[in-house]
Amino acid sequence: MEFFLTSEDNDDRPIFITGNFNKWNPKDSKFRLEKIDDNNYHINIPDELLNNEVEYKFTKGGWENVEIDKYDNITPNRKTKKEIQKTQDKVEKWRLNWGPFKQEFFPIVELVDEEFYIPQLDRTRKIWALLPYDYYNSEKNYPVLYLQDAQNLFNDGSEYGNWEIDKKLALLAEYGRGDLIVIAVEHGNDDRIKEYIFDNEDVTKNAEGKKYLRFITDTLKPWIDKNYRTKKDRENTGIGGSSLGGLISIYSGFLYPEVYSKLLIFSPSLWVEPENNFPMINFTNPYKIKVYLYGGRLEGSRMVGRIRLFEKALKKLTAQKSFDFEVRTNINDQGTHQEFFWSQEFPRAVEWLFIDSLESPVKAKNELEKNEAND
C-alpha cells in the first residue's frame, strides 16, 4: 500500500509513519518516508504488514514531534482500508519538542511556603504546588508527585535550565491526562549533597538523607494532604527526581513502600551505591512499585551500565518476592546529563506511572474520537 504525504511546514527532521502495523513506534527506521521534493513524501508498505483496517499517524521521529493541525490541536488517528491501496494526506504543522503549549492548560502554580519548616533538620525550605489548571473549578481529588530540586523544574533563570514541567503538565492536560498535583521541593543549596545522600561517609560527612526522607514522608505529605484535595493512598502517591534527587527518591521507595507506589528516576547518581546495597524493609506481602528509569548514553561511560545493573537488581528482588517492582527503562542515545533531556522524558514518565498507559498522550487514540462522536 502506498502512502503519500504533503506538508509545507518544513525543516530537516525526517518523517515517519506509525500505526497499528508497527506497535505505534514513532521512530521506526523501516517506516521512514522518502522525500520526493520539499513538500511531498512517500512510502510503500508491503500489504502483509498491514491490517485490513489501517490506523496511523505521521511523526518527525517521536511523539514530542507528532503532527498537529494549523491551530496546534490534536489530530485524531488517520484511518483507511488496506484494499484502497493508496492514500494522500496533508499535515499542517508539527510539534517541536512537545510544543507549542497552550496557555489555557497551564497548571496553577502556588507557593506553598517561602520558608516551610523542616523539623527533622531544623531549617526551612521553599516549596511549590503545581495544581491542575481547573483545580478550583472542580471537586476532584488528585494523585500527587513529589519532586526534588524545584529550582530546576519550572522557574526561569535557573543556572542549568529547567524541566519546564509547567509546560509539560499543560501538554498532558490538553490531552485529558493532566489530573495530577506536583509538589516541588527546592534543594538546600549548600546542603543539597548532604540532604540527598542517605548514609555514605565516603561521599559526604554527616549525611542527612534519612532525616530529609522523614521530612517528605512524615511532615510534608500530611500537610499537603490536609490542605489540598489529594488522593492520599499509596496507589496515588509518587516521588522522583534526577541525579542525586533521583537517588534519594530510590531510597524513598525502598524504605516507605507503604507510602510511595511510583518512582520517577532520571539519571540517578548510582555511583553512590555501586553494589545496589539499598536499605529496605521487607514485608510479608510485598508492595507493588512502578519504577520509571531514564538515562542518557552520553552522560558518561558508566551511567547506562549502572542503570542496567540497577534494573537487574530490581528484577532479582521481584523474583525473590522481596518486592514487586514493575520497571520501565528508557535510554536516550543522544541524552546528556542535562535538564533539557529530563524535560523531554517527563511527560512519558508521568503518563506511564500515573495514567497506566504504554502509549503517548499525543497519540490521541480512542478517547478523543469518542468525545468527538458524542459532541
pLDDT at 160: 61
pLDDT of residue 351: 92
Pull the grid cell for residue 139.
Answer: 471537586
Q: What phi and psi values does residue 116 have, to the nearest 5 degrees? A: -70, 125
- Output the pLDDT for position 311: 96
What's the confidence (pLDDT) of residue 371? 46
Sign of CA dihedral 109, 133, 74, 20: positive
Per-residue cell: 109: 502554580
pLDDT at residue 3 in the model:
98
User: How confident is the model at residue 206, as a pLDDT?
Assistant: 86
DSSP-assigned letters across all residues of 285-317:
SPPEEEEEEEEETTS-TTHHHHHHHHHHHHHHH
Phi-psi category of residue 275: left, alpha or beta, with phi > 0 → left and psi -120 to 50 → alpha? alpha
Separation of alpha carbons 304 and 310, rounded Å: 10
| Sign of the four-CA dihedral 333, 338, 343, 349 | positive
Secondary structure of residue 53 in the 3-state scheme? strand
What pLDDT is stored for residue 85 in this prediction? 96
Residues forming a β-bridge with 109: 130
Mean pLDDT per 10-residue run, the chain (375 residues)? Answer: 96 96 95 96 97 96 94 92 97 94 96 97 97 96 97 75 92 91 95 89 84 97 98 97 96 94 97 85 85 96 94 93 93 94 94 73 46 47
Predicted local distance difference test score (pLDDT) of residue 157 = 53
d(CA 111, CA 328) in angstroms, rounded, equals: 32
Please, are residues 335 and 311 in contact by the beta-carbon 8 Å criterion?
Answer: no
Q: Is the peptide bond before 100 cis (omega within 30 degrees of 0)?
A: yes
Distance CA 106, CA 132 (A): 8
Global pTM reads: 0.88
**Residue 96's closest CA among 8, 13, 7?**
13
